[in-house]
């Protein structure tokens, strides 16, 4: 992978983990002991950090190095398999599909709870108290 492509992949992944952790670039800069402009250049795909800084980020975000430096396949937003499976089930259910876009950054347990609540509400709306094959 060329340098510009690598910078773009890293920038996209870094932004994802900042969003996921509700962290501002200034906070990351402070925790890494770098200038805010350095993080801004990473996010703009102008440059990329040294591996020691990437390794510090893996500790901050509790992820693997590959999560930051490797392109995600198929636009997958979930690194946890259980969460990914629940999200896939939700995305296939026409009545719950709206939730799919709204809940990309939640964990498996929370996502499952939301899905269960919505399924119960849909059954109540239909007047059906028994589980449905779509549930």
Is 66 in the same domain as 25?
Answer: yes
In a domain, 132, yes or no: no
Q: Is residue 82 part of a domain?
A: yes
Q: What is the pLDDT along the chain (135 residues), one digit of tens a residue?
A: 788 899 999 999 999 889 888 899 999 999 999 999 999 999 999 999 999 999 999 999 988 898 899 887 655 555 566 776 776 677 667 666 665 555 555 667 777 887 788 788 778 877 776 655 554
Residue 28's contacts (CB-CB under 8 Å, 6 or more residues apart) are 18, 39, 57, 60
| Predicted structure pTM score | 0.57
pLDDT at residue 108, rounded to an integer: 73
Predicted local confidence at residue 75, as pLDDT: 52
* Residues 85 and 120 grouped into a single domain: yes
Q: Are residues 13 and 46 in the same domain?
A: yes
Tell me, what CATH number does 32's domain have?
A: 1.10.260.40
* 43 lies in the same domain as 92: no
Taking the C-alpha atoms of residue 4 and residue 81, their distance in angstroms, rounded to an integer, is 30
Place of tokens 């709306």: 125
Q: Are residues 89 and 58 in the same domain?
A: no
* 131 within domain boundaries: no
Phi, psi of 124 (to 5 degrees): -60, -40
Contact 69, 6 (CB under 8 A): yes
Does the residue 133 lie in any domain? Answer: no
pLDDT at 101: 53
Indicate the helix (H) or strand (E) that contains 89.
helix 81-92
Q: Are residue 65 and residue 79 in the same domain, yes or no?
A: no
Neighbours of 86 (CB within 10 A): 23
- What are the contacts of 121-130 at 24+ separation with CB within 8 A? 122/95, 122/96
6/67 Cα distance (integer angstroms)? 13
Distance CA 56, CA 130 (A): 50
What is the residue range of 115's domain? 75-126
3-state secondary structure of 80: coil
């Amino acid at each position: 992978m060329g340098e510009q492509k690598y910078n773009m992949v890293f920038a996209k992944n870094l932004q994802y983990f900042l969003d996921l952790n509700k962290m501002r670039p200034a906070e990351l800069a402070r925790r890494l002991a770098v200038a805010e402009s350095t993080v801004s250049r990473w996010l703009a795909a102008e440059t990329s950090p040294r591996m020691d800084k990437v390794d510090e980020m893996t500790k901050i975000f509790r992820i693997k190095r590959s999560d930051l430096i490797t392109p995600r396949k198929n636009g997958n937003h979930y690194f946890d398999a259980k969460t990914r499976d629940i999200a896939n089930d939700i995305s296939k259910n026409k009545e719950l599909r709206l939730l799919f876009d709204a809940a990309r950054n939640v964990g498996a347990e929370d996502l499952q709870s939301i899905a269960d609540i919505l399924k119960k509400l849909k059954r109540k709306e239909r007047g059906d108290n028994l589980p449905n094959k779509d549930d």
